[in-house]
Amino acid sequence: MPSLKDFRVRIASVQSTKKITSAMKMVAASKLRRAQEAAEAARPYSERMEKMLGNLAGSFKGQAGAPKMMAGTGKDSVHLVLVMTANRGLCGGFNSNIIRNARALIRELKDKGKKVKVLCVGRKGRDSLRRDYRDLIVDSFTEFARKRVAFTEAAEVSAKVTEMFNAGQFDVCTMIYARFKSALTQVVSRQQIVPFPVPETTAAAVPYEYEPSDKEILEDLLPRNLAIQIFRSMLENAASEQGARMTAMDNATRNAGEMISGLTLKYNRTRQAMITKELIEIISGAEAV
């Protein structure tokens, strides 16, 4: 049976763990608020970009000569999977959910006989996928979002994707990230970003004039749109991560609390048992005299 001192040590250690998890929960809560604001602030841009792209794409509908990034390469033999995870752990099932989804996708594609390449954004995804798919990972980005996600960081990722696409290194690119639904729910989502899925527009009702030309604008707009999509998912991911961490830490704090009360109960019982035992010893000693 553990001694009283053992109990005291256990209780003290659980208590300090509880302090840490509850502090982490509060930090995550405040970071979540900021991340959510950032994600919301980025929304107008991507919405308007989508509208503009829709208008432009309308004028290309059914026409040959659309840029490759929209029309595709005409093949789909090489897939690039963009796996977006967090840089840090301790956020419940957040990273593992994304990674599981990525693994499933990679297997699916491999079963279909496609060639798969992986681009990791986030340290956790890279570390985990490196174990099984070391030779598939073409590159990884882990130095980002130290404080907040900056657009330039997303631009870097998208520049890499664009460069690879222009060099003909892949045909289709899918990105996997956690869409932020609420602080409690994050949905792991897949989104095809290359070739760009043309939004179903109500056809450009207004005939636009284009400066310089529609083709040039589209060629400029598409890579930029890619950067925006990546930026947006990075923001969503950041918000999801904090949401997941907050929930995980909340659970951990509650568990620690339960554990402490259980241990305290046992500690008190043991203490009483010892006092009783001592008393019995004294009494029976006195009786024997």
Partner 1 sequence: MTDTVQLELVSPERLLLSEPVDMVVVPGTDGYFGVLPKHAPVISTLGPGVIDVYRNGAIAQQYFVDGGFAEVNATGVTILVDEALPVTEITKAKADERRIAAQDRLDKATNDDDKRRATLALRVAEEMAAVAGRAA
Q: Strand pairing of 172-180 and 137-141? A: unpaired
Show the CA angle centred on residue 34, arms to residues 33 and 35, nearest 5°: 95
Nearer to partner 1, 65 or 207 (CB): 207
Q: In terms of DSSP bridges, do strands 115-121 and 78-84 run parallel, antiparallel, or are they unpaired? A: parallel
Beta bridge partners of 83: 120, 176
Closest distance between partner 1 and the C-beta of residue 182, in Å?
22
How far apart (Å, rounded) are the C-alpha atoms in residues 126 and 81? 12
Q: 19 to 38, contacts with partner 1 by CB under 8 A? A: 38
Whichever of 111 and 209 has its CB closer to partner 1, that residue is 209
129 binds partner 1 (CB under 8 A): no
Counting beta carbons within 10 angstroms of the beta carbon of residue 75, is it exposed (0 to 12), middle (13 to 18) or buried (19 or more)? exposed
Nearest residue to 81 (alpha-carbon basis) of 153, 133, 151: 133
Residues 175-214 that bind partner 1 (CB under 8 A): 206-212, 214
Amino acid (one-letter) located at 102? A
The structure tokens listed for 75 are: 């093949």
DSSP 168-205: T--SEEEEEEEEE-SSS-EEEEEEEEESPPPP--S--S
- Considering beta carbons, is residue 132 or 216 the nearer one to partner 1? 216
Contact 32, 239 (CB under 8 A): yes
Q: Which is nearer to partner 1, 32 or 221 (CB)?
A: 221
231 contacts partner 1 (rule: CB under 8 A): yes
Picking from 76, 70, 80, the residue whose alpha carbon sits closest to that of residue 195 is: 70
Contact string (CB under 8 A) for partner 1, positions 138-157, x = contact = -------------x--x---
CB 85 within 8 A of CB 125: yes
Active site residues: 91
In 3D space, the residue among 46, 47, 63, 55 whose CA is nearest the CA of residue 209 turns out to be 55
CB of 33 to partner 1, least distance (A): 16
| Residue 132 C-beta: closest distance to partner 1, Å | 32
Q: Count of residues binding partner 1 (CB under 8 A)?
A: 33
| Site string (44-63) toward partner 1, x via CB under 8 A | xxx-xx-xx--xx-------
How far apart are CB 76 and partner 1 at their closest, in Å? 25
Residue 278 as a binder of partner 1 (CB under 8 A): the answer is no
Determine the Cα–Cα distance for residues 230 and 226; give it in Å rounded to an integer.
6
Hey, what amino acid is at 246?
Answer: M
Taking the least distance from each CB to partner 1, the nearer of 206 and 289 is 206
- Tell the smallest beta-carbon distance from residue 206 to partner 1 (Å): 5
> Shortest distance, CB of residue 228 to partner 1, whole angstroms?
6
* Cβ closest to partner 1, residue 135 vs residue 209: 209
Stretch that binds partner 1, among 10-18, 108-116, 221-229, 259-267 (CB under 8 A): 221-229
Q: Which residues make up the interface to partner 1 (CB under 8 A)?
A: 38, 41-42, 44-46, 48-49, 51-52, 55-56, 151, 154, 159, 163, 166, 206-212, 214, 216-217, 220-221, 224, 227-228, 231
